[in-house]
Amino acid sequence: MSFKQAKELVERMEFSELALKNATKVLDESYQTLGRASENFDKTLIKQEQILEKLPQSDKKMSFMFLAVAINIGFILGLLVGKYIL
């Protein structure tokens, strides 16, 4: 192997080393991003579970509210009927 061939081979190896360093840097950054995305996804799942636990309670409250409104409307209609019809 001549000196020129050896020099070209060393240059190629240096370029390969730089490319590998760049690739590992990009992979590390994407892995960190994936880690943050995974944490955000876990937080989202926890929030969804909390919301699903609260839905039956809010449905029960809404049912009581509708019942109270219906009773009030019935009371008002009963007063109007009692005053004007009877």
pLDDT tens track of the chain, all 86 residues?
Answer: 677 788 888 888 888 888 888 888 887 777 777 777 788 888 888 988 888 888 787 778 888 999 999 999 999 999 999 888 87
What pTM does this model have?
0.44
Instruction: Give per-residue pLDDT as tens, 49-63.
Output: 888 888 787 778 888
Residue percentage of the chain with pLDDT more than 90: 17
Question: Average per-residue pLDDT in the chain?
Answer: 84
* Region for 27 from its dihedrals, namely left if φ exceeds 0, alpha if ψ lies in -120 to 50, beta otherwise: alpha
Cα–Cα distance between 70 and 73 in angstroms, integer? 5
Compute the Cα dihedral for 7, 11, 17, 20 and give only its sign.
Answer: negative
